[in-house]
A and B are shown apart, each in its own frame.
Chain A
Amino acid sequence: MITEETLVAELKDKQTQAKAFEVLVNTYKERLYWHIRRIVLNHDDTDDVLQNTFIKVFKNIESFKGESKLYSWMYRIATNEALTFLSQKSKKLGVTNEALQENLAKTLESDVYFEGDAIQLKLQKALATLPEKQKLVFNMKYFQEMKYEEISEILETSVGGLKASYHLAVKKIESYLTTAD
C-alpha cells in the first residue's frame, strides 16, 4: 500500500498528480462521505460537500506541509465545508442553526435514503438538540469508531475535553431517547 508521504509527493508532482488523486479519492471517499453525511444528513447535500472537499484538497495540496496527518487535514477540511454549508443554508432559509438542525432531522422521515426505524429517527432528533462539538464528537466516536487522539488532531481539542464532551453527549442522548415523545 502506498505511504502517505509518497501519495502527497505524487499529488504535488504534475506528472503523477492525476493518478495519485484517483488513489486519494478512492481511499478516503467512503470515510469522508459518512463523516459529512452525519453532519448534513441529506445524501445530495453530502455529495456536494464531499466533492467540494476533494476539490479543496486538490487545489491546496501545495500548502500541505506534512506537519499533521493527511487524513486529519482532509477531515478538517470536510468538517469546515460541512459546517459552512449548514451555516449558508440556515442563512438562506432565514432560520437559526438550531432550527435548521431540527428541521433536517424531521425531514429524514420522508428521505428515501434514510432507512432507519423509529428509534434511529429519534436518535437523529436527539443529536439535533446537542451543541455542535458534542454532536461531532459523538458521531466520530460512536459511529465512526475513531480514537480520541485522532479526533483530537482533527478538532484541535484536548483528549480530556473530548472525553467530557462524549460523556455528556451520551447522557443527553440516552435521556432524550428514554423520555422524549
Chain B
Amino acid sequence: MIYAVIGLIFGIIGGVLTPGFIPKIYAPYFSVALMAGLDTAFGGLRAAMEGDYDNTIFLSGFFVNIALSVFLCYAGIMMDIDFYLIVILVLGMRIFNNLAIIRRLFLKK
C-alpha cells in the first residue's frame, strides 16, 4: 500500500516536471486512458482489501483496459459516434462500485 502511495507521488512529481503537454487532438484518448487506469487502480485496491489480489490480473487489467478504452475512443471518433462517453460512463460506474465496496470493507473492519 505504501508503495502505491509513494509511486503516485513520484508520478505526480514526474508529471509536474515534464515539460510540454498533451496536444489537443489526443486529449480525448488521454482522458479515457486515465479513466481506465483509475478504474484498474481502484479495482486493485478493492481486490487487495478483499484478499484475492493477483499481480498478473492487476497488471494485465491496467494495460488492457487502457488499450481497449483508447481503441473504443478512436473507433468512436472514426465513426463519428461518441463512444468515449460510453467508456467514461462504464468506467465511472465501476469506480464508484469499487469505491463503495472498499468503503464497506473498511467500515466493517
Is the A/B pair a real complex?
A: no
A residues engaging B (CB < 8 A)?
none
B residues engaging A (CB < 8 A)?
none
